Structures are given as C-alpha cells and as structure tokens.
Amino acid sequence: MKNKTPSFVISVFEDDSVWIGVNDDLPIATEAPSYGELLERVWKIAPEIAVLNGWVSDPKKLRKSTLIRGCKSLSGTHRSTE
C-alpha cells in the first residue's frame, strides 16, 4: 500500500455530447452522457480501482472532492466552468 491517502485529478472532456473522464495514475477511463452522470460514475468506480491498484486498503478512505478548473473539449473549444 502507498503511505498516504492519494489525491487524483480526473481530466474531463466533452466530445460529441459524451463526457469523458481519464486519469492514468489511478488508472481510470469512463464516459457518460452528462457531466453530472460522469461524476457519479467516477465516484462509483474509483474506490474499487484504488483498492485493486494498492492506493488504499479501505475504499472508504479515498477522499472524494471535485475541483472544477475549466473544461476543454476534444475539438479544442474552451469552456469556462468557473
């Protein structure tokens, strides 16, 4: 197990009305039809993936927080969410 509770930043993109979340360190890649559903999906699967990859021993210890800095779609159009 790693020594401290990790923090992960999920990169979020929107492409053709599909929201995609990716993090290579966890690792995670998932998609959903809306931003809200994407967040729900990430928080549903992230704890199990963190345990399977040795980041935490107890999935309840994975901190859940969301930081929105902005979103850049795959087509290159910048959208500010701040």
pLDDT of the residue at 81: 38
Please indicate, yes or no, if residue 72 is contained in any of the structural domains: no
- Given its phi and psi angles, is residue 68 left (phi above 0), alpha (psi -120 to 50 degrees) or beta? beta
Query: The domain spanning residue 8 has which CATH number?
Result: 3.30.160.250
Residue 24 has pLDDT above 50, yes or no: yes
Q: What is the pLDDT of residues 26-76, one digit of tens each?
A: 899 999 999 999 999 998 999 899 999 998 888 887 776 655 555 554 444
Structural domains in the chain (count): 1
13 near 73, Cβ under 8 Å?
A: yes
pLDDT of the residue at 7: 77
Please indicate, yes or no, if residue 45 is contained in any of the structural domains: yes
The domain in which residue 2 lies consists of 1-65
